[in-house]
Amino acid sequence: MRTLYNILFLIFFVALSPYYFWRLRRRGNWIEGFGQRFASYDAAVKQALTNRHIIWLHAVSVGEIGLCTQLIRALEPRVPNAKIVVSCTTTTGMAECRRLPNRITKIYYPLDRRKFARMALATINPQAIVLLEAEIWPNFLWRAADLRIPVFLANARLSDRSYPRYKKFGWLFRPIFRSFAGVGCQNKEDAQKLQDVGCVPGRVYVTGNLKFDAGAKLTEQRSLDVRGLLRQIGVADDAPVLVAGSTHDGEEMLLAEMAARLRLKSPNLFLILVPRHFERSKDIGQQLRTRGVKFTYRNEILPATKLAPNEVECLLVDTTGELKFFYEPASVVFIGKSLTAIGGQNPIEPAALGKAVVFGPNMQNFKDIVRIFLSKDAAVQVQSPDELERTLAALLADPARRAELGRHALEVVAENLGAVERTVEMMLPHLAQRGILVVPKKV
């Protein structure tokens, strides 16, 4: 089984490597730390890990890094002598990773060749591994199991796409899922799915969704004065602001065209577009120019920048890791990847700020969260671009309705807190067994 996987992995890696490296280069900042993807670590990393009890947390990209941050805050006081290493897969994830304190070692996750998995685990030598959500790479997990390193899944969920795949290839994945020391999942439905693909029932815990805890901490993390930034480009404090967050191809132009029509009734409406992949910003900017949209890039706003009122009507955010700050001045928030793409993005961050949240029909990756928000009248779901425009117009004209949605959203977030602490409690007995000092929680 392992031999077959490694043969197939090598074939697919060679075939897809041009695309893989093209994407790395397109996203930028790919050279720094590149060797870590092949388990090559410099002396500084090795020295930081020498003679330490290591807990290795892996987060794929930006969203998961936010969850890691909350886990670290809860975990560090309980395991004061442990050293935490955080890995990620994407360059945008690493940019967010670097916001973590200097005491946290940040690395790229190794490519899943047997040689690199062995080298990485030999160098890092973790006493425990925590994977955020379901990031399953067989060689890495096989080697961890061979070394008897406890591996945990945190905030685990199986999407409608991945669940049948894991079942279909059960000969490959069932032993891997069976090896997990603990699985903290978001709800009972995910718990059942995880058991179906091989997780041991007694090791599966319904801990809740870490995203609620991460969202609730947003108010503690302000490092960008967005309102001041908007004043620099001529946006008045009382101007209505429509924020489209984590947008995908096609959604930006739809929102820009809608905003132009919405300004007939809301003349000062300002649009903020935050693409999910910032490297698309140049192409989006060209499309906006073609349509005559007056806009500026986030990176063009310098300390000395001062634009007149109405000089621009749209801000295109071409940075990464700042979306949560741009939600703060929003009158209404549209959640991207829900109208022209499938899957959706996280609605909890704007909800935790008490914003009126709207999303399209395609929120498959957040089904349970959407169900809760809709059942509590804490968000609005639309089925088409036309319905989205009507909904935005109604909300912009009705401050009381926006405030009501925001109030209900805050209540939903408050009711669903505690997943971080439950996840930490799931792991602590295993950490103690591995020789890591665990101290009681301070009351």
Neighbours of 257 (CB within 10 A): 14
Q: What is the CATH number of domain 21-208+418-433?
A: 3.40.50.11720
Neighbours of 15 (CB within 10 A): 10
- Going edge to edge, which strands form the sheet with 380-381? 295-297, 314-316, 270-275, 241-247, 332-335, 356-359, 380-381
φ and ψ at residue 334, rounded to 5 degrees = -105, 130
pTM, full prediction: 0.86
Q: What tens digit of pLDDT does each residue of 234-264 get?
A: 999 999 999 999 999 999 999 999 999 999 9
Distance in angstroms (rounded) separating the CA atoms of residues 156 and 278:
27
Q: What is the DSSP-derived secondary structure letter of residue 34?
A: G
Contact of 208 with 419, CB cutoff 8 Å: yes
Handedness of CA 115, 165, 4, 171 (dihedral sign): positive
Distance in angstroms (rounded) separating the CA atoms of residues 2 and 200:
22
Contact of 180 with 158, CB cutoff 8 Å: no
Handedness of CA 359, 360, 363, 368 (dihedral sign): positive
Q: What is the DSSP-derived secondary structure letter of residue 278?
A: G
- Pick from 212, 9, 209, 233: nearest CA to 112: 9
Interval 58-73 mean pLDDT: 90
Q: Is 347 exposed, middle or buried (0-12, 13-18, 19+ CB in 10 A)?
A: buried
Question: Predicted confidence band at 220 (pLDDT cuts at 50, 70, 90)?
Answer: low
Longest dimension (CA), the chain: 66
Percent of the chain whose pLDDT exceeds 70? 99
Distance in angstroms (rounded) separating the CA atoms of residues 247 and 340:
9
Pick the CATH number of 220-415 from 3.40.50.150, 3.40.50.2000, 3.40.50.850, 3.40.50.920: 3.40.50.2000
Interval 273-301 mean pLDDT: 96
Question: Predicted confidence band at 292 (pLDDT cuts at 50, 70, 90)?
Answer: very high
* Intra-chain end-to-end CA distance of the chain, in Å: 49
pLDDT of residue 289 exceeding 60: yes
Contact of 236 with 268, CB cutoff 8 Å: yes
The 3-state DSSP class for residue 53 equals strand
**H or E element: which one contains 125?**
none
φ and ψ at residue 36, rounded to 5 degrees = -65, -25
The CA–CA distances, whole Å, from 107 to 40, 57, 120, 372, 375 equal 10, 10, 10, 36, 41
Distance in angstroms (rounded) separating the CA atoms of residues 253 and 273:
10
β-pairing, 53-58 vs 182-185, is: unpaired
Q: What tens digit of pLDDT does each residue of 144-198 get?
A: 999 999 999 999 988 888 899 999 999 999 999 999 999 999 889 999 999 999 9
The label of the residue with tokens 């498959």 reads 364
State the pLDDT at residue 207: 96
Distance of CA 60 to the CA centre of its chain: 8
Q: Residue 275: which residues within 8 A CB-CB, separation 6 or more?
A: 246, 247, 248, 252, 281, 284, 316, 317, 318, 336
pLDDT of residue 321 exceeding 70: yes
Contact of 408 with 378, CB cutoff 8 Å: yes
Tell me the angle at which helices 399-415 and 367-375 cross, rounded to the nearest 10 degrees: 120
Distance in angstroms (rounded) separating the CA atoms of residues 41 and 229:
39
Contact of 393 with 427, CB cutoff 8 Å: no
What is the token pair recorded at 103? 């005491």
State the pLDDT at residue 222: 66
- Pick from 308, 256, 247: nearest CA to 280: 247
> Do 21-208+418-433 and 220-415 share a fold?
yes
φ and ψ at residue 20, rounded to 5 degrees = -60, -50
Q: What is the DSSP-derived secondary structure letter of residue 270?
A: E
Distance in angstroms (rounded) separating the CA atoms of residues 27 and 30:
7
Give the start-to-end residue ranges of the domains of the chain.
21-208+418-433, 220-415
State the pLDDT at residue 24: 76
Percent of the chain whose pLDDT exceeds 90? 79
